[in-house]
Amino acid sequence: MTRLFTESPKRIADITTQGIPLLAPVTPAGPPDPDDPWGSSHPAPPVDRTTLAWCTAVQMLADHHHTAVERQVLAADALLRELGVRGLAQLHSDLHLGAPIDYRFTRCPYCSGLGEDPTLPDCREVGCPPQYKFANHPHICPVCRGEDYQPEWFAAKRVADLDRWLATSFGQRPGWSPWCRRLAQRFRKRR
């Protein structure tokens, strides 16, 4: 938990001290388009650039594109206006060419692998049921959905499961056991 209190403010301070305006301007509403029934004539809400979500988004974009943070400001604004904090999971997947991210093996960019919401919201903000109001319960990270980042433990468990599955598959089908034995030997040699 101490990591949570030290990493999040440092990440926000690293981004906000670069001279970027701390509040994105409100984009004016465009004229209504009769050809676009789904178009919005409402102005886009302002984006607070001091939030952890915005700082995480702009840092992810800058790191991926190998550019300065100032060049990714408008992209981070658009992401948070359109998708909010949960858009960070979509951005993370998009930056990995659309592949799903397994947060057990990849550190979450928002909560740094802790699994809890780093902004420490209260139950009213999150919308918890009334019976949880007085219980001291954690709120899961909206990006990784509370996945437990422990790549060493999950990798060892996955190899053990694979060994067990290969061991039980011997002799189940005629002609497959030599292939399974060779495959199991290859996996054992890798460890």
Same domain membership, residue 60 and residue 136? yes
Same domain membership, residue 160 and residue 72? no
Same domain membership, residue 82 and residue 11? yes
Q: How many other C-beta atoms can be found within 10 angstroms of the C-beta atom of residue 23?
A: 10
**Number of helices (H), then strands (E), in the chain:** 7, 0
Distance CA 59, CA 82 (A): 18
pLDDT at 2 over 60: no
Give residue-wise pLDDT tens across range 107-140: 899 988 888 888 888 887 778 887 776 667 788 8
Short-list 79, 83, 24, CA closest to 57: 79
The domain containing residue 13 runs over which residues? 2-149
Same domain membership, residue 122 and residue 31? yes
Q: Which of 1-5, 10-14, 33-37, 92-96 shows the highest mean pLDDT?
A: 92-96
Same domain membership, residue 162 and residue 127? no
The residue written with tokens 């030599």 in the block is 178
> For the chain, what is the domain count?
2
Same domain membership, residue 168 and residue 99? no
pTM: 0.67
